[in-house]
Structure 1
């Protein structure tokens, strides 16, 4: 069976995606999609920065695998043919895949030494070069034929196909397998997915970024013809009945698809104006998986830190880890909830990093880059404390502020020789002589000395009935400046964490502006 690939691809990393305004079909850029060349079977890494595909742009138009990558905010590099140490005529042509971060290439070959037939192999990328391929070995590989490995974002679960027969361009008698990584770092014994999925010739599994949506191809009865695409989801401990992806299926073979981390588009090779090209197709809302946003950055300062992410909807920690050796941090956040990311240093005297991400809206960025600074606080610095918030038009701290208060208290305790101030700054100050809107909760009284005309007593001054007299008038103003009380609330919370009030000054400032916004800072005085 002559198979053709599909894959999910991200066209632009840094824009927000709105499904109501996105095009139904988008062509990949010409840097990897030349109109005079046939391109097939594109596979993009989950992070959207690496791409492997099959092309006839080779000697004698022989179908050959090519690789391309891009750096943040750049176009795709000119595709390069994979080296002969990886690609040979002994490989399964349609089995090239990538790890979620694009740093590892997976492929299937029958070359020696192997476990059985076509085995899964891997090679790691270092710049523009590839490491010597290594066999994944048992229990992943067996005396049967294995190909098309696809991994969850944490790379702790792998799905692949195991087939009775396989050649360079065809595979049959296939079932979809799943294996999980054990505590010792080795793969556990693979298990076959249920018969509802493994009906007929089931091939090319693609686990999506949400870790629960699986796309695969099958020649089961009832399709449009050949191999068709199906989707199933892992819910309540079981896989749902597969449904056909009608928007992408054709009378020809439709196989080997995947979706980028945003979950909006499916990439496949499709007819272009002159040749087969790589194009994205918008996934209908009823089939769209949950998307993931990638948060990444390199620490400025100490690399010895702990990285945590909490889902604020249920209070559960969804990630716990450390930066890599270069201080690089990368986490994935699933849309539909609000998350709190924190990078806490091992040493108390160092600054921490924290940020909140609200992924409950209609748009989703694929990549957010952060610049965490983990270093001693310096005199004159004003460290933002954006996770400290207040209820509505009050000086009452929200419950979500408690974790930031604890981190802040640890930092202050770790710097006993420093002097600090809690500074609250509000933009959008308003005032009126009447309480004209609910924001004007505060009252200020101004005294004004003025001269007034008053009626004089005839007995006191018979020559004049009107006299001028100095007097004081008290004027009442309603306003929305709660910054002194809010700063006091933060100091009181820190007192409850054991920080003496004598160590903290209070600074408050209200500025005019069209939109009200309150921010809290830790000012390092000396």
Structure 2
């Protein structure tokens, strides 16, 4: 069953969102194509979608990028399309960073039935030949509609059953697999009964790493498959799904996409022609939006050559210590969403040894709105004299540090482990040194065992703090022969507290 434009408009009008439906128009949608299954990157600047040419019934997957609010002329994703009467591709999904495309296909050299495949953009911007995820992701059954969590740690897909919607659309149960390494995955498991009730598909985790959208045919819906929203809890469970009533129709509702901003939804809606669909965007009601994030994006570079390098960025919730790891694309670009509701710590490392690391503290945002932070991270090669700031380190006293400081020392420990032939000097500085000379009474002298009548006190604990860092690194596996430490007192040029590693 196809919903006519008039009926679709009436439904949306009754739901109070008609004025917020905006067709993307040309060059994305044209009268010559049936356009559907939009998928946007985290920053909303890359759009992937499927087309069927109405004059030939040939299908393609297209990609477009947005600059200053204008979409570029769509390009075919070369090497992915092999659509024939015998071969089927579909379920295209572009990951958060915009450098990996997932899809399902029954093409040659699969495991069996319809499998999950991927293609990745190289440093020159070209897409690789499609690669089969192989076992244990794929099986002799039919796996469709893949998606990936923003950090790339979890892969979601639908394992088809023999069930279909009244309109004949196949469905099944949504599965998830956890990444073990760059190329290995755990055996998939089905999501709990909160999500899977018998006829589900199209699950995806949004940029807040909490909001889970999927399609389901269950009691209380509007007919066929409806969109639902659930929240992924810290314990791995899901909240009771909420019907995305503002966009659902009596037809099968499948394939929507929401970027990190959270306020705009991309979908396909009936176009002007018969059996024609166009890509549209729609405002998401405030109570249906994912949690607010701040999006950090940019490029990781070699500071000496100003060329892009690959690496990883670890984001850690300071209170709980839970972490997410984001890997850069082949061209060094990164895209990292961070919730605005709490304090986080960010550590930036090169994929190859021989470079410093950087630290960034991300405080709770006082303004609860979506922001994009464009930062170029430049890492210096570890040559003699290079200074590596332990910027998140602070002392409560000379024997106690806070959670953020513990994360900083762990990064320093990792740096030394990754570069086992390099030696370092630990230097500690303070912002000011105050000395005080106190005259003691005879009783004070007896208690303090002081021969003199005066004692001089100082707040310069830089030597003790440097020793604390030294002891921690040695106790955690670094050879003492690679380290030395020094309390530097006040640096007249800066007059601030700081702790650094100096390459010897």
> TM-score of the superposition, structure 1-length normalised?
0.63
Which of 310, 313, 318 does residue 316 from structure 2 map onto?
310
1:135 aligns with 2:132: yes
Q: 1:373 to 1:31 in 2, by over 3 A?
A: farther
Distance 2:110 2:352 in 1: 48
Q: 1:367 to 1:60 in 2, by over 3 A?
A: farther
Deviation at 1:148, TM superposition (A): 0.6
Q: Any idea what the Cα deviations from partners look like across 1:227-248, whole Å, max 9, x if unmatched? A: 2111223334433332211122
In structure 1, the partner of 2:9 is: none
In structure 2, the partner of 1:264 is: 263
Which structure: larger Rg? 1
Distance 2:147 2:247 in 1: 20
Deviation at 1:311, TM superposition (A): 1.9
Distance 1:492 1:32 in 2: 65
In structure 1, the partner of 2:300 is: 298
1:331-346 alignment runs, 5 A limit: 331-343=336-348
Identify which range, 239-248 or 364-373, moves more after superposition: 364-373
Q: 1:377 to 1:328 in 2, by over 3 A?
A: farther
Aligned residues: 431
Give the CA RMSD over aligned residues.
5.1
In structure 1, the partner of 2:84 is: 89
In structure 1, the partner of 2:287 is: 285
Q: Aligned with 2:258: secondary structure?
A: coil
> TM-score of the superposition, structure 2-length normalised?
0.66
1:145-184 alignment runs, 5 A limit: 145-161=142-158, 162-164=160-162, 171-182=169-180
Q: 1:503 to 1:142 in 2, by over 3 A?
A: closer
Distance 2:333 2:128 in 1: 22
> Where do 5+ consecutive residues of structure 2 fail to align?
5-17, 417-421, 433-457, 471-483
The 8 Å contact of residues 298 and 371 in structure 1, kept in 2 or not, is answered as yes
1:507 aligns with 2:484: no
Q: 1:234 to 1:346 in 2, by over 3 A?
A: closer
Q: Any idea what the Cα deviations from partners look like across 1:24-71, whole Å, max 9, x if unmatched? A: 847476665357565322112345453221335x46174633422438
Distance 2:135 2:395 in 1: 56
1:385-404 alignment runs, 5 A limit: 387=392, 399=402, 402=405
Q: 1:106 to 1:317 in 2, by over 3 A?
A: closer
In structure 1, the partner of 2:371 is: 365
Distance 1:254 1:262 in 2: 22
The 8 Å contact of residues 292 and 369 in structure 2, kept in 1 or not, is answered as no
Q: Which has the higher helix share?
A: 2
Distance 2:194 2:424 in 1: 61
Deviation at 1:366, TM superposition (A): 4.3
Q: Any idea what the Cα deviations from partners look like across 1:404-441, whole Å, max 9, x if unmatched? A: 69989999x9666x9x995869xxxxxxxxxxxxxxxx
Deviation at 1:306, TM superposition (A): 7.8
